[in-house]
């Protein structure tokens, strides 16, 4: 039996239709042969061509051979159907995957509070609550020390007569105020001699008159705080004198250790004029305060020094 000869690609190809043999009939005897081509052609892949509608079916295969030719188009169509089925399955999977991803993104984009079932969680209601008011926590703070005595300018005495109307506490406060105000001036006099025009304590006999000007005669038997303030105001108005405590001038303590003021606080008044020696300060006393006991030269001592008083002869 001769093998079929490949058809030329430039001619319509008629292929034998496959007819399943009946169970009781013999196999076809032979296959129609085609005349060989004039020139041999290289072996080409089998092409599936559409047969024209007018083409007649090929004659049945005759002969006793048990082998039949299977049309290439049938195998191609079967593979195409398999590929189509696989493609459809893949497409369905991709569509399902896309739907799943879309649903997941949609659920992720929703606010957290919207997906909470039942009573809202604590964190879901924080934004809608009103701000929590601040609560002041009471703490125990030690009270600051009482400030130094102060007084309004209109309440302070500016004349000796006004000083006499003060209470004892007001008079003491006024002396402390005058001392604090003059502290910087006194510090600038360290290392020099100055005229000292008063040194008194409460209760002693003093010379402060007449008219708050000493004349050498004690006319006040028991001086008061108010009278000491009045006399210092007079000295300030006349000479620019300032009030101080003994320790500011370099004396070890403010209470006298001997004399009529022993054990009592002494209030001093000096004229803030600098002199190189005691004689210069006493010369100023000779001119401005004639009574010998009421003016003398005072040395303002610095750290490590001790103050000195030089009386006039």
Question: What pLDDT digit, counting tens, does each position of 155-211 carry?
Answer: 899 999 999 999 999 999 999 999 999 999 999 999 999 999 999 999 999 999 999
3-class secondary structure, 305:
coil
Across 240-259, average pLDDT: 96
> Which single residue is written with the structure tokens 């089925």?
85
Q: Please list, in sequence order, all residues whose beta carbon lies within 8 angstroms of the beta carbon of residue 230, skipping any fewer than 6 positions away.
A: 157, 160, 161, 163, 164, 208, 212
- Say if residue 224 is exposed, middle or buried (CB neighbours under 10 Å; 0-12, 13-18, 19+): middle
Alpha helices, H only, the chain: 72-109, 160-163, 168-181, 183-187, 225-239, 278-288
The answer to whether 197 touches 289, Cβ cutoff 8 Å, is yes
pTM (2 d.p.) = 0.53
Structure confidence at residue 120 as a pLDDT band (50, 70, 90): very low
Which candidate, 262, 240, 308, 313, places its Cα nearest to that of 283?
313
């Amino acid at each position: 039996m001769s093998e079929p000869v490949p058809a030329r690609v430039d001619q319509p190809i008629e292929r034998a239709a496959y007819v399943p043999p009946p169970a009781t009939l013999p196999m076809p005897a032979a296959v129609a042969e085609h005349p060989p081509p004039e020139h041999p052609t290289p072996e080409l892949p089998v092409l599936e061509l559409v047969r024209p509608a007018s083409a007649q079916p090929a004659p049945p295969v005759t002969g006793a051979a048990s082998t039949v030719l299977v049309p290439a188009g049938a195998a191609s169509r079967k593979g195409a159907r398999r590929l189509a089925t696989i493609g459809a399955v893949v497409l369905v999977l991709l569509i399902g995957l896309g739907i799943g991803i879309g649903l997941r993104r949609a659920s992720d984009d929703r606010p957290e509070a919207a997906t909470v079932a039942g009573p809202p969680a604590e964190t879901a209601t924080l934004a809608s609550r009103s701000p929590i008011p601040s609560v002041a926590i009471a703490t125990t703070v030690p009270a600051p020390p009482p400030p130094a005595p102060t007084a309004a300018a209109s309440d302070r005495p500016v004349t000796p007569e006004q000083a006499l109307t003060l209470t004892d506490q007001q008079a003491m406060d006024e002396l402390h105020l005058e001392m604090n105000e003059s502290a910087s001036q006194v510090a600038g006099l360290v290392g020099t001699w100055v005229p000292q025009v008063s040194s008194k304590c409460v209760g002693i006999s003093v010379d402060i008159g007449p008219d708050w000007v000493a004349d050498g005669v004690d006319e006040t038997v028991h001086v008061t705080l108010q009278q000491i303030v009045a006399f210092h105001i007079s000295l300030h108005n006349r000479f620019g004198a300032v009030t101080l405590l003994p320790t500011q001038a370099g004396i070890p303590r403010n209470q006298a250790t001997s004399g009529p003021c022993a054990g009592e606080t002494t209030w001093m008044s000096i004229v803030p004029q600098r002199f190189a020696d005691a004689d210069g300060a006493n010369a100023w006393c000779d001119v401005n305060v004639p009574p010998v006991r009421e003016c003398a030269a005072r040395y303002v001592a610095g750290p490590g020094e001790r103050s000195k008083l030089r009386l006039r002869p």
